[in-house]
Chain A
């Protein structure tokens, strides 16, 4: 039972390059999320998808785009990477409606933009 799988685990980009972070969950969850975590900080919500076919901005969406490819997969794209986007990115999913089972997080993608 894999839970939430993120790829890649590590990535180094040059300023201006683009890349897509992949996330897949096998728990049949409706909602999926992308967070970023900077050193010594809590997690900040970038985008979320309440259900397949819908996406909405979170607290820090600038510089990112997302795609809810199907119920299992939710990808995060950086079109033109900037050093300020150096961070650890976490994908999460939650069960329907109340989310009372909490979020399940992936193990993260550590991104460095030079």
Chain B
């Protein structure tokens, strides 16, 4: 499974756009890139997933360059409630038919009033 590297922590003021970049140099052809959000004492929550180019949903955007060796999660106009740990994951369908994901330590985002 591909290893990911992302900043340990980031600070942002309320209302700003936040971009968290993740590198995954050994991503394989069949790998998808997925981002999760985790609040204290809760399980991670799926945010967005992509394979290439740009994906946007009601919560975030995900930018993936052509070489797919990195990806950037963009959170528009963050609020205090966006303070959480954000995980970048790269995973693929296993031979057994399940989709295995490896979690790193994530990026702790702190939103400041």
CA distance A98 to B103 in the complex (A): 18
Would B94 and A50 count as touching, CB distance under 8 A?
yes
Mask: chain B, 19-50; 1 = CB below 8 Å from A; 0 = not: 00000000000001010100001111110010
Would A102 and B49 count as touching, CB distance under 8 A?
yes
**Total residues of chain B contacting the partner, CB 8 A:** 25
Say if the beta carbon of A41 comes within 8 Å of chain B.
yes
Would A42 and B98 count as touching, CB distance under 8 A?
no
Would B96 and A56 count as touching, CB distance under 8 A?
yes
Would B98 and A48 count as touching, CB distance under 8 A?
yes
Say if the beta carbon of A107 comes within 8 Å of chain B.
yes
Please name all residues of chain A whose beta carbon is closer than 8 Å to the beta carbon of B105 when the two chains form the complex.
40-42
B: residues with CB less than 8 A from A are: 32, 34, 36, 41-46, 49, 87, 91, 93-94, 96-106
